[in-house]
Amino acid sequence: MQETSAVSSRRRGLTILALVAIVLIAAVGYFSLTKKETIPDVTFIDLQGQRITTQDLRGKVTILNFWATSCTTCVKEMPELVDTYEKYKGKGLELIAVAMAYDPPNYVLNFVETRKLPFTVSLDSRGELARAFGDIKLTPTTLVIDKQGQVIKRYVGEPDFDTLHRLLDTALAG
C-alpha cells in the first residue's frame, strides 16, 4: 500500500511540475510576443561598397535575411525571396541579404551574379551584424522589420511564404 501511495505522490508532483512548466512557457511566449525588439544601429556595406544604416531603413518595411551559400535551405529559399522582393518592392519593401562571416566573399559574389539577385547583399565579414541582431548562428534567419525599426517576426529556417506575404501586406499598409 505504501508503494502505491509513493507512486501516486510522485505522479502528483510530476503533474504539478508539468503544469508549472506549461505556465512558465506560456508566460515567456506571451512576453516575447508583446515585447518588441528594436533593431540595433548598424551599417550594412553592400557588394558595391555602398553603406546602408538602420536609420536609412526607418519608414520602410525591411526583410533581413542572414544566409550562406553553403546552406542548402538558404539556397532553396532564395528564389522565393526574389519573388517576394519583386512583388513588394514597389510598395516600399527593402530586402537585405546578409552573408555570414564564414561565407567566402567570392562564393557570395558568384552566387549573386549567377542568380541575378535584385536586392541588396551585404557581407558580414567579421560577424558583427550577426552578433548585433542577437548573435545569429543558424541560417537562414530572417527578420521582418516594421517602419518604426521594430522586429515584428523572426524566422529561423525557411519561412512559410504565404504567411510572410500576409504579414508584409499588413506591415506595408500601416
pLDDT digits (tens, 9 = 90+) for 137-155: 999 999 999 999 999 999 9
- Has residue 35 got a pLDDT over 70? no
Average pLDDT on 115-128 reads 97
- Has residue 7 got a pLDDT over 60? no
Instruction: Give CATH superfamily name and number for 37-173.
Output: Glutaredoxin (3.40.30.10)
- Has residue 11 got a pLDDT over 70? no
**pLDDT-above-70 percentage for the chain:** 80
| 80-89 pLDDT, tens digit each | 999 999 999 9
| 56-82 pLDDT, tens digit each | 999 999 999 999 999 999 999 999 999
User: Contact, 61 vs 172, CB < 8 A?
Assistant: yes
Q: b/e for 64-100, b at 16 or more Cβ within 10 A? A: bbbbbbebeebeebbeebbebbeebeeeebbbbbbbb
Spell out the domain ranges in the chain.
Answer: 1-35, 37-173
Nearest by Cα to 167 from 151, 158, 156: 151
- Has residue 94 got a pLDDT over 60? yes
Average pLDDT on 11-28 reads 46
pLDDT at 128: 97
pLDDT at 36: 78
Rounded CA-CA distance 112/29 in Å is 37
C-alpha angle 62/53/99, rounded to 5°? 65
pLDDT at 132: 97
Q: Judging by DSSP bridges, how do beta strands 150-156 and 141-145 pair with one another?
A: antiparallel
User: Contact, 165 vs 159, CB < 8 A?
Assistant: no
Q: b/e for 156-170, b at 16 or more Cβ within 10 A? A: eeebeeeebbebbee
Amino acid at 129: L
Average pLDDT on 111-129 reads 97
pLDDT at 174: 85
Cell of 68: 550562406
pLDDT at 67: 98
CA 172 to chain centre: 18
CA distances from 26 to 21, 31, 32, 33, 129 (A): 9, 9, 10, 11, 30
